């Protein structure tokens, strides 16, 4: 029984591991779902997320591990723990390098870039986007390359490297069009338009904004994760006209962008931007209707989201409004507030804009503000130059990487070509040499052929004699079994049948038992006498087919509900002695016959396995069982014991009434 369990464990080990991983994934999914429940308190959600992370770390480093790790990182980000998001992203980089998974390595680099973009550390963001782009370039993923160039274009735009942003966006479109990704094409065109606005190339900006707006109208970008794309494009077109002095056209675009009634509720930041731009267009047109309310409402929304640059712009716009209305105190108040808030940031262009407005409404400090304005302008130009140079250096390194890859590719091609030529030359030399040797060996083969024919004729003659001897021996054994043993057993049954006329009920019961037993023995021996001539050779030469056929016949019996068997595939039956194979077959055959006759079993299993020294056989059923302590045993069990003893093996029988029977046998392969 123990040996059989070991066989089952070894066969089901892979299934067990698979089931364990499935159970682990179910637990991870449950904790992630709870952590992502926005209705839970943040502390409780974080508790579930920590549990999910601990379980993810147990998984093998495969695609399922990386997928779960990414989910965990994103939820940390959504919960406001951006440093943990960064830590997990770096862990993903190390794990992906170890697992040689280029796809998730590129994604991990991208996530670090997103982290630094959010922190407005834009040079670091571009470096990590660049690393991701290199990996995507290596695996020829055009979508990945295009996406990284869009992200780099956005980061460079925020860093005021407008020419670099324009270059990255154009590069993005080159790769995106190869893959026909409308979402990325929309983002690239939008970024290109913004960069052209800042470089005052308004004609090109309008072209790119119109392309983006066309995609937003024709494609359902919401399904790709881009919401309110039409409103964003209309706002960009309005912003372009506002910058170029076309205030009526700008106001028209802003009105169209603000038509969605759900915009304020679902996307308040975008709503605030559009409303603020609309108010500024009205101010430029001298239309004060709705003002300053249309400036104050965006300011309130931006304060709620703590959007510092946007708050500064709102206050500057309010200062311009009160300046236009001739209310100098309010104009100075908002300009000063914008100036004070801008100084707390490192955004030079924001500080410069606030200083310019303050100098207009505070003539008393115009001199000092003018000096500060000059210093900020110089600092801004220097910073833009440094950023541009840094990004240019990164771009140079990328181009150098690609050139090196192309050179290596060309070198590899040359190596392959020269290797093929060398290989062909070696084959040619070998063919010439082989042809010469063939001519020399041909004459030898002619003489060898004649000798081989004579030897073969002798072998056929010898084989025929051996076959005749084997056939005679098999017939003699069959006749011996049929005429000798069967006759004696038949006589014994007649004698027992005569003795059955006695009135002793116990004696009658015992004699009836042995009479039935002898009937089965008659049948078995008769089958042996008929099958011996055809099975011994098959058992020796095709054991697996014969034993499998026995099992398949057992499956067809109506009394057996479920029959299973296992034959160890590592056993080399050609190396197993013939007497072992024959006895294994006969033992199993005898055991199955006993089960069919007496056990009333519904489930039967057989296993044949091997270790270094032994063949292990186990036969298990869930039948009525018997008392193993009784002295007398049936002929079937006696036959099994005799065969095991003949092979110098070990036999163990376990059985209880109503609990089934287990037979375990060890047969030594060597020395038997």
pLDDT for 6 equals 38
The DSSP 8-state label assigned to residue 178 in this structure reads: H
How far is Cα of residue 366 from the mean position of the Cα atoms in its chain?
Answer: 65
Q: How many helices (H) and strands (E) does the chain have?
A: 24, 5
Mean pLDDT to the nearest integer, 598-611 = 89
User: Does a cis peptide bond (omega within 30 degrees of 0) precede residue 176?
Assistant: no
pLDDT for 484 equals 46
- Burial of 483-500, coded b for 16+ CB within 10 Å and e otherwise, reads eeebeeeeeebeebeeee
Helices (H), 244-347: 247-257, 263-266, 268-284, 293-304, 308-324, 328-343
Helices (H), 79-118: 82-99, 102-118
CA distance 471 to 66: 68
Q: Is residue 551 part of a domain?
A: yes
Q: pLDDT at residue 635 above 80?
A: no
Grade residue 464 by pLDDT with cuts at 50, 70 and 90. low
Tokens of residue 236, six digits? 């960009």
530, 570 in Cβ contact below 8 A? no
Run of H or E residues at 537: helix 505-541
What's the maximum distance between 2 C-alpha atoms anywhere in the chain?
Answer: 142
Mean pLDDT to the nearest integer, 273-301 = 92
Total domains in the fold of the chain: 1
CA distance 196 to 205: 5
Supply the pTM of this predicted model.
Answer: 0.54
What's the helix, strand, coil split of the chain in %, to 5?
A: 75, 5, 15
Residue found by looking up tokens 């020269």 in the block = 418
Q: Is residue 600 part of a domain?
A: yes
CA distance 32 to 27: 9
pLDDT for 273 equals 94
CA distances to 2, 613, 659 from 668, in Å: 18, 6, 30
pLDDT for 528 equals 63
Adjacent-strand bridge partners of 615: 610, 667
Residue found by looking up tokens 């056990």 in the block = 599
Tokens of residue 234, six digits? 């209309």
Domain of 619 in residue numbering reads as: 543-668
234, 240 in Cβ contact below 8 A? no
Q: Which of 57, 77, 76 is nearest to 65 (CA)?
A: 57
Q: Is residue 489 part of a domain?
A: no
Mean pLDDT estimate for the chain = 80
Run of H or E residues at 654: strand 650-656
Q: For residue 660, give the CATH number of its domain.
A: 3.30.565.10
Helices (H), 542-577: 543-555
Using one digit for the tens of pLDDT, what is the confidence trace for 245-270?
A: 999 999 999 999 888 878 888 899 99
596, 557 in Cβ contact below 8 A? yes
pLDDT for 384 equals 56
Tokens of residue 205, six digits? 């900006």
Q: Is residue 582 part of a domain?
A: yes
Q: Is residue 88 part of a domain?
A: no
Q: Is residue 274 part of a domain?
A: no
579, 672 in Cβ contact below 8 A? yes
Using one digit for the tens of pLDDT, what is the confidence trace for 480-525?
A: 555 445 555 655 565 566 566 666 776 666 677 667 666 666 666 6
Q: Is the dihedral of CA 472, 474, 476, 479 positive or negative?
A: negative
CA distance 197 to 200: 5
Using one digit for the tens of pLDDT, what is the confidence trace for 115-172?
A: 998 887 888 888 999 999 999 998 889 999 989 999 999 988 887 788 888 888 999 8
CA distance 274 to 251: 10
CA distance 89 to 83: 10
Lowest mean pLDDT among 6-15, 186-195, 335-344, 401-410: 6-15
Q: Is residue 583 part of a domain?
A: yes
**DSSP state string for 410-471:** HHHHHHHHHHHHHHHHHHHHHHHHHHHHHHHHHHHHHHHHHHHHHHHHHHHHHHHHHHHHHH
């Amino acid at each position: 029984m123990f040996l059989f369990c070991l066989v089952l464990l070894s066969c089901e080990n892979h299934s067990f591991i698979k089931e364990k991983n499935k159970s682990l994934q179910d637990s991870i999914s449950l904790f992630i779902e709870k952590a992502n429940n926005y209705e839970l308190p943040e502390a409780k959600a974080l508790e579930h997320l920590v549990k999910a992370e601990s379980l993810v770390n147990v998984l093998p480093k495969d695609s399922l591990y990386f997928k779960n790790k990414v989910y965990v990182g994103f939820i940390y980000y959504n919960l406001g723990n951006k440093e943990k998001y960064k830590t997990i992203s770096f862990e993903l980089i190390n794990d992906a390098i170890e697992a040689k998974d280029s796809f998730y390595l590129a994604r991990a680099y991208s996530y670090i870039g997103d982290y630094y973009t959010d922190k407005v550390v834009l040079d670091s963001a571009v470096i990590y986007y660049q690393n991701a782009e290199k990996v995507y370039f290596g695996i020829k993923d055009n979508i990945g390359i295009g996406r990284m160039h869009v992200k780099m274009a956005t980061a460079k735009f925020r860093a005021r490297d407008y020419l670099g942003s324009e270059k990255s966006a154009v590069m993005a479109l080159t790769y995106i069009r190869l893959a026909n990704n409308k979402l990325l094409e929309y983002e690239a065109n939008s970024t290109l338009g913004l960069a052209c606005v800042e470089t005052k190339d308004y004609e090109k900006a309008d072209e790119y904004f119109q392309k983006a707006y066309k995609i937003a109208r024709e494609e359902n970008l919401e399904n790709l994760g881009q919401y309110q794309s039409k409103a964003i494009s209309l706002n960009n077109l309005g912003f372009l006209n506002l910058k170029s002095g076309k205030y009526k056209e700008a106001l028209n675009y802003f009105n169209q962008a603000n038509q969605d009634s759900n915009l304020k509720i679902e996307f308040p930041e975008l709503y605030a931007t559009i409303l603020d731009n609309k108010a500024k267009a009205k101010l430029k047109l001298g239309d004060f209707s709705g003002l300053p309310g249309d400036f104050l409402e965006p300011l309130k929304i931006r304060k709620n989201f703590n959007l510092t640059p946007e708050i500064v712009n709102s206050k500057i716009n309010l200062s311009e409004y009160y300046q236009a209305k001739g209310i100098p105190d309010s104009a100075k108040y908002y300009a000063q507030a914008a100036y004070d808030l801008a100084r707390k940031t490192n955004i030079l262009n924001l500080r410069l804009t606030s200083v310019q407005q303050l100098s207009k409404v505070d003539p008393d400090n115009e001199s000092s503000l003018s000096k500060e304005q000059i210093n900020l302008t110089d600092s801004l130009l220097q910073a833009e130059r440094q950023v541009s140079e840094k990004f240019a250096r990164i771009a140079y390194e990328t181009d150098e990487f690609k050139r090196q890859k192309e050179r290596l590719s060309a070198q590899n091609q040359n190596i392959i070509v020269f290797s093929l030529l060398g290989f062909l030359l070696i084959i040619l030399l070998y063919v010439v040499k082989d042809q010469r040797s063939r001519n020399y060996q041909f004459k030898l083969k002619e003489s060898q052929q004649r000798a081989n024919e004579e030897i073969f004729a002798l072998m056929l003659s010898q084989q025929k004699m051996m076959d005749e001897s084997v056939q005679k021996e098999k017939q003699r054994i069959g006749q011996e079994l049929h005429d000798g043993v069967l006759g004696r057993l038949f006589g014994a049954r007649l004698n027992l049948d005569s003795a059955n006329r006695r009135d002793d009920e116990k004696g009658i019961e015992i004699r009836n038992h042995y009479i039935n037993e002898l009937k089965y023995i008659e049948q078995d021996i008769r089958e042996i006498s008929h099958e011996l001539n055809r099975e011994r050779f098959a058992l020796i030469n095709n054991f697996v087919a014969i034993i499998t056929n026995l099992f398949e016949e057992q499956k067809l019996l109506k009394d057996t509900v479920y029959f299973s068997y296992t034959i160890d595939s590592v056993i080399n039956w050609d190396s197993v002695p013939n007497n072992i194979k024959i006895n294994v077959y006969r033992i199993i055959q005898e055991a199955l016959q006993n089960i069919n006759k007496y056990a009333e079993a519904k489930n039967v299993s057989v296993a044949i396995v091997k270790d270094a020294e032994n063949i292990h056989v186990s036969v298990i059923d869930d039948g009525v069982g018997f008392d193993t302590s009784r002295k007398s045993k049936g002929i079937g069990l006696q036959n099994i014991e005799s065969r095991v003893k003949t092979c110098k093996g070990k036999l163990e029988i376990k059985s209880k009434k109503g609990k089934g029977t287990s037979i375990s046998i060890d047969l030594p392969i060597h020395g038997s």
